[in-house]
Amino acid sequence: MKIFGICCGRKNGNTDLMMVEALKGVKSIDPDAEVGFVNLQDAEIKSCMGCETCMKKHIAGDYEFRCVHGVNQDHFHFIEMQLRAADGIIVSAPAYNLLPPGILIRFLNKMHASGNYRLITQSVEACKISACFSIGGTDWTDYTPNVLRMIAMELSGTYDGVVDSVHFDFLNAFQTVMLSADVMERMHMLGENVAKAVIYKKETGKNADYAGTEGICSYCHSNLLRVDPDGSVYCPQCNVKGTVEVRDGKLFVHFSEEALKESRWAPYGQNLHMENIAKGHEKAARGIETIQKNYSENYKDQLSEYRISFPELKKTAEEKDSHE
Ligand SMILES: Cc1cc2nc3c(=O)[nH]c(=O)nc-3n(C[C@H](O)[C@H](O)[C@H](O)COP(=O)(O)O)c2cc1C
């Protein structure tokens, strides 16, 4: 089997070390497993510019097209190839401002330019196995594990492939995780869970049960809630409405199986999303004359007038040394 890891924290930092322990866990189940990880801090990933060329090409059936940046202009394509070759994927992140680091999100945004990767992995049968782990320097980490699980799902193809997920707070100093044997044991177990799930899928064609930290949503395992102005409560990851009950001062939220089938990540939600995208483009096509007239009369000149240009960067020799 082939297991591919993605890190995005400090080079040789806590999450890198935890990844190594998880990959050792994989090897303890399958000594012949091919394992390896990248740290996105070592990679060059150009930001998605939102040009939508890849999406338009995909809608037209051209899955060979990748990104207007070109496949050799950054390391995205290399990582895409690693993902394609992998049976299992482990993605990790430290909390940066309560979220996973921007570099991981930048990578995620480029997944739109991964050819037919999504198309071929987006089913219970064909999805890849994945797991994720995250840490925080303190406990200012609420969004991090939730967003990271969503990223693991994107790399798997569906939440059915996400077999493990765990988060640890209060690990801040460089390599401090080596003082926490329990964390490293859990990492080892995460790797074992991924390897066992890959073997199970190969033998049975089924995805292993989720063995990670439970949330309040049984579909995405998120522990977040959205309360709408009318008092309705939703899982904000899945956009699924729940029913609430307060017992002994504690809030209990229930998402019915029926409601969860309409998760934005389930086939129903994915189709609805695609329909809504198509509707948006159709609306723009119908209104193209209004858009062009309004643009030239009210915005074209004002955009040039109001936009502030960036000065050209002149890096000193010292700055070049410390950043390259
Ligand atoms: C830019 C930046 C923002 C951070 N924001 C948070 C945060 O919001 N919450 C938190 O608990 N830790 C935060 N941290 C601390 C890191 O999560 C912590 O140091 C972690 O151990 C880094 O993992 P690494 O060693 O794998 O890089 C932040 C660190 C940096 C560099």
Kindly state the tokens that stand for 112: 């739109």
- What is the 88 CA–ligand 1 centroid distance (Å)? 26
pLDDT tens, the chain, 324 aa long: 999 999 999 999 999 999 999 999 999 999 999 999 999 999 999 999 999 999 889 888 999 999 999 888 999 999 999 999 999 999 999 999 999 999 999 999 999 999 999 999 999 999 999 999 999 999 999 999 999 999 999 999 999 999 999 999 999 999 999 999 999 999 999 999 999 999 999 999 999 999 999 999 999 999 999 999 999 999 999 999 999 999 999 999 999 999 999 999 998 999 999 899 889 999 999 999 999 999 999 999 999 999 999 999 887 777 765 544
DSSP state of 176: G
Q: Are 207 and 197 in contact (CB under 8 A)?
A: yes
Q: Are 113 and 123 in contact (CB under 8 A)?
A: no
> In this predicted structure, what is the pLDDT of residue 315?
78
Which residue type is seen at 186? R
> In this predicted structure, what is the pLDDT of residue 74?
94
> In this predicted structure, what is the pLDDT of residue 46?
95
3-state secondary structure of 5: strand
Neighbour count for residue 119 (Cβ, 10 Å): 13
Atom of ligand 1 nearest to the CA of 176: 21
Assess whether the C-beta atom of 145 lies below 6 angstroms from ligand 1.
no
Assess whether the C-beta atom of 134 lies below 6 angstroms from ligand 1.
no
Assess whether the C-beta atom of 96 lies below 6 angstroms from ligand 1.
yes
Assess whether the C-beta atom of 13 lies below 6 angstroms from ligand 1.
yes
> In this predicted structure, what is the pLDDT of residue 324?
46
What global pTM score does this model have? Answer: 0.95
Q: For residue range 42-90, list pLDDT tens digits in order.
A: 999 999 999 999 988 988 899 999 999 988 899 999 999 999 999 999 9
- What is the 171 CA–ligand 1 centroid distance (Å)? 8
Assess whether the C-beta atom of 94 lies below 6 angstroms from ligand 1.
yes
DSSP secondary structure string for all residues of 294-310? HIIIIIHHHHHHHPPPP
DSSP state of 40: G
In the chain, the domains with their CATH numbers are 2-204 (3.40.50.360), 215-324 (no CATH)
Q: Are 163 and 194 in contact (CB under 8 A)?
A: yes
